[in-house]
Amino acid sequence: MSGSSTSFPWLSVLALIPLAGSLVLLLLPRTGELVKHVAFGVTLAAFAVSVAVAVQFNTGGGFQFVDNYQWIKAFGVHYAVGVDGLGLVLVMLTTILTPVVVLASWHDAEEGRWSANAFFAWVLFLEGLSIGVFIATDVFLFYVLFEATLIPIYFLIGGFGGAQRSYAAVKFLLYSLFGGLLMLASIIGLYVVSSSSAHGPSYLLQDLMHVQMSQTTGRWLFLGFFIAFAIKAPMWPVHTWLPDAASEATPGTSVLLVSVLDKIGTFGMMRFCLGIFPEASHWATPVVMALGVFSVIYGALLAIGQNDIRRLIAYTSISHFGFIVLGIFAMTSQSQAGAALYMFNHGISTAALFLITGFLIARRGSKMISDFGGVEKSAPVLAGVFLLVGLSSLSLPGLSPFVSEFLVLAGTFTKSITAAAIATFGIVLAAIYILYMYQRTMTGPVRESTRRLPDLNLRELGAMAPLLVLLVVLGFFPRPALAAINPTVNSLLHHVGVTDPPPTVAQPAGTTHGGGLR
């Protein structure tokens, strides 16, 4: 794993800005709009630093902006951070979505059990921890931050969610803690394995990628990491916490949960499962690909049958995460590049879907699809944005999710025609659940309860605008993201020891192998 460092600790500063901002918010007066403006300003500052990092990033590959300091010498633990193409894309996703969430959630905190100061402080705290997760190159540091992200999201759901918020928050926490304990067991195992190496115990990723371990040991340790990441992703059958959490959380919290926090699961599969346990990843590939395909179809079928808008979006995400996992474990350059890009595109698309439906639900006072109808006549701008965002979720060509979904399926076809063919059916099901939801909410006769729904205001349009721009721009020009992602994917596949299958060309009838006529 190559790396480069700079004299200025860009990544540490990037993570520290929202963490420090969260503390400042708690000290501000609990009246007025000041806390919201400060929170928005802090997220813009973090975004500006992330842009500076992206501008300086060298697409040639390797970890960059590296900082490495010894933390706990006896256990080989370091404060080590760095960013490659995969990490950069997810850091950018985090810093783009957080100011959008703050702007879209301007009044959401007013309905919680605690003050707006607490709501926006937890949002900033979660942003800082999430950035830390995506830049950590020490496995122990990653684990600490991985577990710490549970704290702000638990309070965001439990303190500001709907009627069943306590149940949803506790269920989310129990699932996540179970996965975290399994990962901790594997991390302890890595300490034991690395202690026998010539350099002594180490949790640095570059050391663990080359540590020698037996086949059986590697597979058991792999399972601890993989199950934790599968819960976080989430994948079937460890997904049931997500519909409850997404249904009860505020729209902004759902965005941070599904579009940012859940990406830690698929990020971890690429970074740690494949990076540290290449042999075990090969061993598990058939089962994981089958689970990915099943998640694609299962999530889509359950989405079709939902009447709760937020639960519907949660099930669509289970389906989309199935595509991402499928692309990762198909282990071709196209599928993995598509999976990494899908993490970003799904984050943008699903964030837009949660926010626009959140605006709709706040106007009507109900999240049940059956309570809507004819909204396009009373709020045409809202309906138009809803349609565009919905089309992105079903991967319409010209919108960014299409590019990533196409790459995943194209790469998977070269590995398993059966898996790719079944997963492709998920696209058909996506068209059904999105268009059926749009038809039932936006078209048809105007109901008395939706006759006077106000259209989107300037603040709401401002929150949606950057997401809509990204959906369109990356739909036609995904090259900047892929230029950062491809070197990371190629390096990972080389480490795992796989190459793309050679293309097969069928011989036309009546020809010999030499190409001559019979």
pLDDT in tens, the chain (518 residues): 445 556 788 899 999 999 999 999 888 887 768 888 999 999 999 999 999 999 988 887 788 888 888 888 878 888 899 998 899 999 999 999 999 999 988 887 765 556 888 889 999 999 999 999 999 999 999 999 999 999 999 989 888 877 788 888 898 889 889 988 999 999 998 888 887 765 678 888 888 888 888 888 889 999 999 999 999 888 888 888 888 888 888 888 899 999 998 899 999 999 999 988 989 988 999 999 999 999 999 999 998 988 888 889 989 989 999 999 999 998 888 899 999 999 999 999 999 999 999 888 888 878 888 878 788 888 889 889 999 999 998 888 889 899 999 999 998 988 888 998 999 988 889 889 888 888 888 887 777 777 788 888 898 899 999 999 999 999 999 888 888 888 888 888 888 777 777 766 555 555 544 443 33
3-class secondary structure, 80: strand
Residue 249 near residue 313, CB atoms below 8 Å: no
- For the residues of 232-290, what is the DSSP string, one character each? HTT-TTS-THHHHHHHHS-HHHHIIIIIIITHHHHHHIIIIIHHH-HHHHHHHHHHHHH
Alpha helices in 365-478 (DSSP H): 375-378, 380-393, 400-413, 417-442, 458-476
How many angstroms separate the CA atoms of 346 and 259, rounded? 7
Question: What pLDDT is recorded for position 4?
Answer: 55
Single-letter code of the amino acid located at 503: P
How many angstroms separate the CA atoms of 389 and 362, rounded? 18
Q: Per 3-state DSSP, what percentage of the chain is helix, strand, and coil (rounded to 5)?
A: 75, 5, 20
Residue 379 near residue 460, CB atoms below 8 Å: no
3-class secondary structure, 66: strand
Task: Work out the angle at residue 241's Cα, subtended by the Cα atoms of residues 437 and 312, and round it to the nearest 5 degrees.
Answer: 0
Question: What pLDDT is recorded for position 93?
Answer: 94
Question: What pLDDT is recorded for position 133?
Answer: 94
Question: What pLDDT is recorded for position 375?
Answer: 82
Which residues fall within 8 angstroms of residue 293, CB to CB, at 6 or more apart? 322, 326, 419, 422, 423
Domain ranges of the chain: 277-499
Residue 413 near residue 420, CB atoms below 8 Å: yes
Torsion of CA 159, 165, 171, 176, to 10 degrees: -40
Question: What pLDDT is recorded for position 3?
Answer: 52
Residue 29 near residue 36, CB atoms below 8 Å: no
3-class secondary structure, 138: strand
How many angstroms separate the CA atoms of 97 and 105, rounded? 12
Question: What pLDDT is recorded for position 464?
Answer: 92
3-class secondary structure, 154: helix
Closest CA to 339 of 353, 358, 354, 322: 322
pTM: 0.88
